[in-house]
């Protein structure tokens, strides 16, 4: 007699869902252990205050509150704060005398608990709290930076990029996206300047970097900026505009095409002449005009040639014309890059531009 056996194959989606459930259970279990540990600490402090009120200050209860605000989630933290407030009331009841200084210290501690409680309620609307929320923002920042990772290029091509946000923060409205064609014969690269500065533009930069990264690898060179413009128009943001410069390079021949959308022009350096030339192309700002058209400026990168792409933070300063800023940047580039292009982008960002604006620089060099 033959028996048939059947095996159930689990879909990839079901496997991911199971991993997510396990991860969430592990995280909730860890949070519960932290809450129990901090609760036990609060009970111990309250007991010591009751046994030796002169030796153990009841204000020590602020320690578990502060630690809990860092490690507990939005569902657990409010209840934990209420528990500590109850412990604080018990500690106050065991004080031999209530002086004005004691009442003042109690008021400060109640205020700290109230601030943590209200903050936890506000964070619960976002679903994040404490270090978990900070980790999320760090992950968002890293994703923006990862979008600007330059793909592996064949021998003879070097691309360097550098970003510096306004005020030195980790979030910026400038970002870079690059992609190589499936057959590896060409590369597309776009530098974008989102409206706003620093953190206020960081969220829009994150969304656009993901969308533009998908468009860049799926469209021909002449189709990227029109598609990016249509995408921004569909968002209907109050400040939903951005400037961009797009570069396409044939890695075999060195031919390239540059298109701009309300962005400062690219600069091309020929090794033979040793001079920088501005490549001016026309195109409106992204997200303002429907059916916008973007002109193309062709060129050729021979051996030793280079192209600079940058944002307006590199060349704009108060009470100075942008053309003067471009001339100063090219003069500085001629001086800094005369010997070597190694570290070129970072050297230019460090020495040029306005510290009150986001700055981005890309150097494409055909060695």
Domains along the sequence of the chain with CATH = 15-127 (no CATH), 137-366 (3.60.40.10)
Whole-angstrom Cα distance, residue 241 to residue 182? 30
- The continuous run of DSSP H or E covering 256 comes out as strand 255-261
| Sheet bearing 306-310, strands edge to edge | 157-164, 359-366, 306-310, 266-270, 275-279
Burial of residue 170 (CB within 10 Å: 0-12, 13-18, 19+) is middle
DSSP-derived 3-state class of residue 178 = strand
- The continuous run of DSSP H or E covering 228 comes out as helix 224-235
| pLDDT for the residue numbered 115 | 86
Whole-angstrom Cα distance, residue 314 to residue 356? 11
Q: Name, in order, each residue with C-beta under 8 angstroms of 272's C-beta and a sequence gap of 6 or more.
A: 302, 304
**Token representation of residue 187:** 């590369």
First-to-last CA distance in the chain?
Answer: 74
Q: Name, in order, each residue with C-beta under 8 angstroms of 366's C-beta and a sequence gap of 6 or more.
A: 156, 157, 254, 301, 302, 303, 304, 305, 306
| pLDDT for the residue numbered 125 | 64
Mean pLDDT by 10 residues, the chain (367 residues): 41 50 58 84 85 78 85 80 87 76 83 84 62 62 67 89 73 83 92 75 77 86 94 81 94 96 93 86 90 94 92 78 85 78 83 77 90
Our CA angle for 108, 34, 46, nearest 5°, is: 45
Picking from 206, 257, 181, the residue whose alpha carbon sits closest to that of residue 192 is: 206
pTM of the model: 0.69
| pLDDT for the residue numbered 307 | 94
Picking from 240, 261, 249, 364, the residue whose alpha carbon sits closest to that of residue 312 is: 261
| pLDDT for the residue numbered 32 | 80
| pLDDT for the residue numbered 358 | 81
| pLDDT for the residue numbered 208 | 84
Secondary structure in 3-state letters for 303-336 = CCCEEEEECHHHCCECCECHHHHHHHHHHHHHHH
| pLDDT for the residue numbered 250 | 96
Our CA angle for 144, 150, 153, nearest 5°, is: 165
Whole-angstrom Cα distance, residue 281 to residue 263? 9
Which residue(s) pair with 175 in the sheet? Answer: 192
| pLDDT for the residue numbered 351 | 82
User: Phi then psi for 209, rounded to 5 degrees?
Assistant: -65, -40
| Sheet bearing 174-180, strands edge to edge | 174-180, 186-194, 242-250, 255-261, 297-300
What letter would DSSP give residue 164? E
Tell me how far CA of residue 294 lies from CA of 71, 246, 260, 263, in angstroms: 50, 10, 7, 11
């Amino acid at each position: 007699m033959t028996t048939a056996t059947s095996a159930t194959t689990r879909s990839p989606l079901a496997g991911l869902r199971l991993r997510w459930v396990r991860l969430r259970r592990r995280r909730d279990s860890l949070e519960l252990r932290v809450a129990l540990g901090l609760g036990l600490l609060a009970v111990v402090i309250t007991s010591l205050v009751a046994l030796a009120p002169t030796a153990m200050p009841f204000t020590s209860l602020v320690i578990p509150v502060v630690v809990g605000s860092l490690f507990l989630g939005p569902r657990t933290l409010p209840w934990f704060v209420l528990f500590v407030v109850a412990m604080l009331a018990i500690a106050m009841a065991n004080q031999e005398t209530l002086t004005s200084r004691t009442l003042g210290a109690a008021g400060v501690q109640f205020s700290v608990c109230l601030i943590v409680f209200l903050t936890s309620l506000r964070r619960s609307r976002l679903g994040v709290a404490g270090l978990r929320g900070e980790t999320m923002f760090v992950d968002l920042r890293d994703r923006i930076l990862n979008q600007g990772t330059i793909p592996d290029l064949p021998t003879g091509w070097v691309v360097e990029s550098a970003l510096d946000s306004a005020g030195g923060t980790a979030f910026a409205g400038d970002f870079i996206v690059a992609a190589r064609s499936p057959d590896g014969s060409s590369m597309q690269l776009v530098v974008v300047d989102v409206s706003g500065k620093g953190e206020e533009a960081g969220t829009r930069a994150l969304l656009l970097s993901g969308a533009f990264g998908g468009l860049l690898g799926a469209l021909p060179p002449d189709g990227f900026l029109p598609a990016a413009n249509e995408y921004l128009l569909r968002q209907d943001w109050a400040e939903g505009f951005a400037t961009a410069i797009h570069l396409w390079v044939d890695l075999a021949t060195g031919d390239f095409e540059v298109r701009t959308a309300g962005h400062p022009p690219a600069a091309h350096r020929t090794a033979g002449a040793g001079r920088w030339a501005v490549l001016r192309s026309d195109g409106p700002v992204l997200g303002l005009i429907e059916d916008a058209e973007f002109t193309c400026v062709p060129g050729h990168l021979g051996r030793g040639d280079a192209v600079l792409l940058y944002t307006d933070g590199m060349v704009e300063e108060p009470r100075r014309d942008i053309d003067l800023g471009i001339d100063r940047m090219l003069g500085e580039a001629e001086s800094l890059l005369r010997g070597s292009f190694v570290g070129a982008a970072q050297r230019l960002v460090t020495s040029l531009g306005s510290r009150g604006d986001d700055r981005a620089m890309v150097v494409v060099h055909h060695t």
